[in-house]
Homo-oligomer: A and B are copies of this chain.
């Protein structure tokens, strides 16, 4: 995918405006320098088709921001100024809040991880406490790694719920009901003293697949996160997709059984009521002396326990049915499954594929690849870093 900034509403200049034109030309210059190395301004003009005046203005601005440097050279025997990209000391942060954890990662625009911390959070944690925890973790990471706060150009933040991109606020439907109505962007900007870019965690998982992950060539990708909730993130036409108000990927609320269990969203028989880890735990804990964990379910499945395998199979088929309806509409190249069940591998992928083939039109069922995410439980935090880098206009190297 291109590293173009994500098209969320409210953050981007209007297409066709002067600032959009300038941003487009600035990106073109940075990408050209990254690809071809140091160039004179005349060479930059030839390589981009831009006028030397445009080049000169933008290079001046880039140098002022510390993104490029100029040094004397000769071009065709004449003295000239060579422009090169600074290997910047800039860092971006990625913060992933889950139902029961927070992870903070620091990385360079070259997508090299510099430092990383994980902490459990109590279920039902309040936004204020978790933000304080993340702020303390970031301070520790900076101190341990010798990175100064001023080097951190911004932080991407993942939250397990929909975010209204117009206001930066967590909205109803989140796995964290305690966070609904919290302006996560404003609160974190205050606590961390840096620009904050917030997004739904599944959207960031999707972004990570095409930046950090194995699927950089995919233009149309669905990232499906199966956890205590079920959500999806979309990469469409090579860019993160946010829809009209930023509430996308709510596949957990696809109707599976018209008269099924009541869901937290207020409907009945949603996918989440038959295929989330919470439902698996409830089904499989009956008759056990204590409530199972996801880890125990994975161990029992690996040991061949038939009830566990049946519950996973039924859940996978339901997930496959829901993604069939999605794939029929948007024809993705690949569906990447993430979340805490990733260790199940083919045990979970097989029923998902069967459900997909059973319910999709044949050409879609046969033509859509379904795989596990190779980024494990770091996908969301790594995607958060990519979000911060692209919003700050720092093109990421492909690793």
Bound-state CA distance A173–B361 (Å) is 8
Question: A348-378 toward B: CB 8 Å interface, digit per residue (1/0)?
Answer: 0000000000111111100110000000000
22 contacts across the A-B interface (CB closer than 8 A): A15-B238, A21-B48, A22-B49, A25-B49, A45-B51, A51-B54, A234-B329, A236-B236, A237-B239, A242-B331, A243-B332, A244-B367, A248-B330, A250-B361, A250-B364, A253-B328, A255-B321, A255-B325, A265-B361, A326-B326, A329-B329, A329-B330
Whether A38 sits at the interface, judged by CB under 8 Å, is: no
Cβ-defined partner of A362 (8 Å) among B21, B49, B245, B265: B265
Chain A interfacial residues counted at CB < 8 A: 64
> Chain B residue with minimal CB distance to A331?
B243
Whether A246 sits at the interface, judged by CB under 8 Å, is: yes
Contact between B324 and A326, CB atoms less than 8 A apart = no
**A393 → B minimal CB distance (Å):** 17
**A228 → B minimal CB distance (Å):** 17
Cβ-defined partner of A330 (8 Å) among B2, B173, B234: B234
Contact between B251 and A328, CB atoms less than 8 A apart = yes
Specify which chain B residues have a CB less than 8 angstroms from the CB of A114 in the assembled complex.
none
> Chain B residue with minimal CB distance to A263?
B361
Bound-state CA distance A228–B265 (Å) is 34
